Amino acid sequence: MLTESIKKHKIEYLLVSFVDLFGVIRSKLIPASKAKVAETSGAGFAGFAAHLNLTPAHPDIFLIPDANTLTPMAWQSNVAWITGDLYMEGKLIEHAPRNVLKRVMADAAKKRVTMMTGVEAEFFLLAPDGSRISDERDLLGKPCYDQLALMRRFEFIKEVCDAMQDFGWEPYQNDHEDANGQYEMNWHYSNALQTADRHVFFRFMTKAVAEKHNLRVSFMPKPFSALTGNGCHTHCSLWDASGKKNLFLDSKNLHQLSEKAYQFIAGVMHHAPALSALTNPTVNSFKRLNAKTPDSGATWSPNGISYGGNNRTHMIRIPDAGRFELRLPDGAANPYLLQAGLLAAGMDGIENKMDPGLPRDENMYDIFTKLKVKKLPATLHDALIALDKNRVFREALGGEFIDSYLKLKRDDWSRYMSQVSDWERQSTLDC
């Protein structure tokens, strides 16, 4: 199958890639003539060179390509990107992100359900050095849906959107987002694994195409203190094994969601503190959550653990029948771990028949401090503590993954804490 696809698309090289625990894409460029060798034996990597909690003493790791993920690079048509599963000494690496997601999905499949998701990947278009937004004329106080700013970036957007159409992703809208210099491009939902694979490639594609246009793409959660941050809102529904029946749809129930959907939502809310360690995985992530109001007038990010109808001030929004939107994740989220954590949390809610309570209609930005609503973690450190204590995630995602992730992220936090910022010097130098 892989060889046939390579011939069909006239591919000369394969960019064989995987994502490590920090969401970094690692790759090797392989001549298409060696594709069969890669498909059977795998492409070899030194695991210590990536964020995988391995040492220089560990043997090589091998990526076995998944032919279903082969994606010709539209901007470099003789090269195709492909991902797959990581092995070491013939065994799956339990804590590799894509393997973690596949294991959680397999557990759900045993219950004859599959999760369908779509993501809204927000990003900034910056100057090449990353110091400022790229469009000096993008100055509106409320720039969301700014037509002129959108069309000044038409060539970039068209190239990416055309590629997604060629891939069969069914992109359906592109817009200028709430911050100056910020954009969003949407494509059709799919099963959680395919969505994650496409999300990984989308991040790579936008960055590569941006470089062609002398631009720089950033998914950083909060690159500018006065501007809205980059979210990665995730739409979710649960379907039966045949993929024909939406188990979240109930036209006779509140907001046209089924009891199972509300149980799933309750699970996500219950596990939100631990989940945030996966959906908001950087120090900077928590400068988007609980943030002060930016210049546009709203953060568009949650400030507590709540849900409501078509109300964007809640962590969970119900925009339409048969699905909900999780507004917690940000642009730094590892695509595989985002999906794995969401599914594990929701399935626990169903298994234990959790109740989310009644949805709220209030503007959470106005009255959050007056309500008895659970808060999200204030820092990455707090989120990691919640993840460490979460037994459900340890069982569903795997103890080896949890321990590896915590170790690397705690090291990341320690490196952050060892830095002294300009703000600290300015505010405390004369103490």
Tens of pLDDT, residues 216-267: 999 999 999 999 999 999 999 999 998 899 999 999 999 999 999 999 999 9
The C-alpha atoms of residue 112 and residue 247 are separated, in whole angstroms, by 11
> pTM of the predicted model, to two decimals?
0.97
Parallel/antiparallel/unpaired status of strands 61-65 and 25-31 = unpaired
- pLDDT tens for each residue of 123-143: 999 999 999 999 999 999 999
pLDDT of residue 8: 87
CB 350, CB 375: distance < 8 Å: no
pLDDT of residue 214: 97
Locate the DSSP E strands across 247-389: 307-308, 316-320, 323-326
The gap from C-alpha 222 to its chain's centroid, in whole angstroms, comes to: 15
pLDDT of residue 103: 98
pLDDT of residue 171: 98
pLDDT of residue 192: 98
Question: Which residue positions in the chain have pLDDT lower than 70?
Answer: 369
List domains and CATH numbers for the chain.
2-91 (3.10.20.70), 103-424 (3.30.590.10)
pLDDT of residue 323: 98
Taking CB atoms within 8 Å and a gap of at least 24, the contacts of 65-70 are 65/2, 65/14, 65/16, 65/35, 65/38, 65/39, 67/1, 67/2, 67/5, 67/39, 69/197, 70/2, 70/5, 70/6, 70/9
pLDDT of residue 2: 87
